[in-house]
Protein backbone atom coordinates (compact mmCIF):
# COMPACT_ATOMS: atom_id res chain seq x y z
CA UNK A 1 0.00 0.00 0.00
CA UNK A 2 2.91 2.33 -0.58
CA UNK A 3 0.89 4.17 -3.21
CA UNK A 4 -1.66 5.23 -0.57
CA UNK A 5 1.01 7.37 1.09
CA UNK A 6 0.74 9.69 -1.93
CA UNK A 7 -3.07 9.85 -1.85
CA UNK A 8 -4.50 13.02 -0.27
CA UNK A 9 -6.59 12.35 2.83
CA UNK A 10 -9.04 15.06 1.73
CA UNK A 11 -10.17 15.82 -1.80
CA UNK A 12 -13.37 17.72 -2.51
CA UNK A 13 -14.66 19.80 -5.39
CA UNK A 14 -13.80 23.46 -5.47
CA UNK A 15 -17.14 25.14 -4.79
CA UNK A 16 -20.82 24.32 -4.30
CA UNK A 17 -22.99 21.75 -2.53
CA UNK A 18 -22.18 18.08 -3.01
CA UNK A 19 -22.32 14.63 -1.45
CA UNK A 20 -19.32 13.35 0.47
CA UNK A 21 -18.18 10.15 2.16
CA UNK A 22 -15.62 9.01 4.70
CA UNK A 23 -13.72 5.88 3.69
CA UNK A 24 -11.68 3.73 6.08
CA UNK A 25 -8.67 1.94 4.57
CA UNK A 26 -6.40 -0.47 6.50
CA UNK A 27 -2.86 0.86 6.70
CA UNK A 28 0.31 -0.85 7.93
CA UNK A 29 2.67 1.46 9.78
CA UNK A 30 6.13 0.50 8.53
CA UNK A 31 7.82 2.77 11.08
CA UNK A 32 7.09 0.38 13.94
CA UNK A 33 9.33 -2.59 14.80
CA UNK A 34 6.35 -4.85 14.22
CA UNK A 35 3.80 -4.07 11.56
CA UNK A 36 0.79 -2.56 13.30
CA UNK A 37 -2.45 -2.58 11.36
CA UNK A 38 -4.39 0.61 11.78
CA UNK A 39 -6.52 2.75 9.52
CA UNK A 40 -6.43 5.90 7.48
CA UNK A 41 -9.62 7.83 6.91
CA UNK A 42 -10.14 9.51 3.54
CA UNK A 43 -12.73 12.19 2.79
CA UNK A 44 -14.06 12.60 -0.74
CA UNK A 45 -16.82 14.81 -2.17
CA UNK A 46 -17.81 15.58 -5.75
CA UNK A 47 -20.54 17.64 -7.41
CA UNK A 48 -20.61 15.19 -10.33
CA UNK A 49 -21.77 12.32 -8.08
CA UNK A 50 -25.53 12.06 -7.63
CA UNK A 51 -25.18 9.22 -5.11
CA UNK A 52 -22.77 8.56 -2.24
CA UNK A 53 -21.94 5.19 -3.84
CA UNK A 54 -20.63 7.08 -6.89
CA UNK A 55 -18.21 8.97 -4.64
CA UNK A 56 -16.97 5.65 -3.23
CA UNK A 57 -16.63 4.26 -6.77
CA UNK A 58 -14.57 7.28 -7.80
CA UNK A 59 -12.25 6.77 -4.81
CA UNK A 60 -11.88 3.09 -5.73
CA UNK A 61 -10.84 4.15 -9.25
CA UNK A 62 -8.31 6.52 -7.68
CA UNK A 63 -6.61 3.95 -5.44
CA UNK A 64 -7.29 0.67 -7.26
CA UNK A 65 -9.66 -2.26 -6.93
CA UNK A 66 -7.23 -4.32 -4.83
CA UNK A 67 -7.26 -1.86 -1.90
CA UNK A 68 -9.61 -2.99 0.89
CA UNK A 69 -11.91 -0.21 2.06
CA UNK A 70 -15.10 0.49 3.93
CA UNK A 71 -17.36 3.51 3.57
CA UNK A 72 -18.16 4.59 7.13
CA UNK A 73 -20.79 7.19 6.31
CA UNK A 74 -21.68 10.16 4.21
CA UNK A 75 -23.43 13.48 4.08
CA UNK A 76 -23.21 16.76 2.24
CA UNK A 77 -20.68 19.56 2.09
CA UNK A 78 -21.41 23.15 1.19
CA UNK A 79 -18.21 24.93 0.18
CA UNK A 80 -18.39 28.68 -0.35
CA UNK A 81 -15.08 30.00 -1.63
CA UNK A 82 -16.21 33.65 -1.68
CA UNK A 83 -17.24 33.51 1.97
CA UNK A 84 -14.40 31.14 2.91
CA UNK A 85 -16.88 28.83 4.64
CA UNK A 86 -17.45 25.07 4.62
CA UNK A 87 -20.50 23.44 6.22
CA UNK A 88 -20.82 19.68 6.73
CA UNK A 89 -24.27 18.16 7.32
CA UNK A 90 -26.79 15.47 6.39
CA UNK A 91 -26.46 11.74 5.88
CA UNK A 92 -26.26 9.00 3.27
CA UNK A 93 -29.29 6.76 2.83
CA UNK A 94 -26.97 3.92 1.81
CA UNK A 95 -24.05 4.35 4.24
CA UNK A 96 -25.58 6.27 7.15
CA UNK A 97 -24.35 9.50 8.67
CA UNK A 98 -20.62 10.17 8.65
CA UNK A 99 -18.87 11.48 11.74
CA UNK A 100 -19.27 15.14 10.80
CA UNK A 101 -17.07 16.28 13.67
CA UNK A 102 -14.18 14.22 12.26
CA UNK A 103 -14.96 15.45 8.74
CA UNK A 104 -14.89 19.07 9.92
CA UNK A 105 -11.51 18.56 11.61
CA UNK A 106 -10.07 17.00 8.44
CA UNK A 107 -11.38 19.92 6.37
CA UNK A 108 -9.93 22.48 8.82
CA UNK A 109 -6.47 20.97 8.28
CA UNK A 110 -6.87 21.03 4.50
CA UNK A 111 -8.45 24.52 4.40
CA UNK A 112 -6.98 26.49 7.35
CA UNK A 113 -8.22 29.83 5.92
CA UNK A 114 -11.87 28.68 5.91
CA UNK A 115 -14.44 28.72 8.69
CA UNK A 116 -15.57 25.08 8.97
CA UNK A 117 -18.64 23.97 10.90
CA UNK A 118 -21.01 21.02 10.95
CA UNK A 119 -24.53 20.02 11.87
CA UNK A 120 -25.98 16.58 12.47
CA UNK A 121 -29.32 17.80 11.10
CA UNK A 122 -30.70 17.89 7.58
CA UNK A 123 -30.39 15.69 4.55
Helix (H) and strand (E) counts in the chain: 2, 6
Taking the C-alpha atoms of residue 20 and residue 87, their distance in angstroms, rounded to an integer, is: 12
**Which listed residue (11, 27, 52, 100) is catalytic?**
52
27 included as an active-site residue? no
Residues 6+ apart with CB under 8 A from 19: 45, 46, 49, 50, 51, 52, 54, 55, 74, 75, 76, 77, 92
From the number of C-beta atoms within 10 Å of its C-beta (0-12, 13-18, 19+), residue 29 rates as exposed
Give the residue numbers annotated as catalytic, written as ranges.
52
Amino acid sequence: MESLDKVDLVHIDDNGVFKYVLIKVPHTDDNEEEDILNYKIYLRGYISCDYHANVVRKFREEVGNDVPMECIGGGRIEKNNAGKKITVYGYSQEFGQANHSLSAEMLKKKYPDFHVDFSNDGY
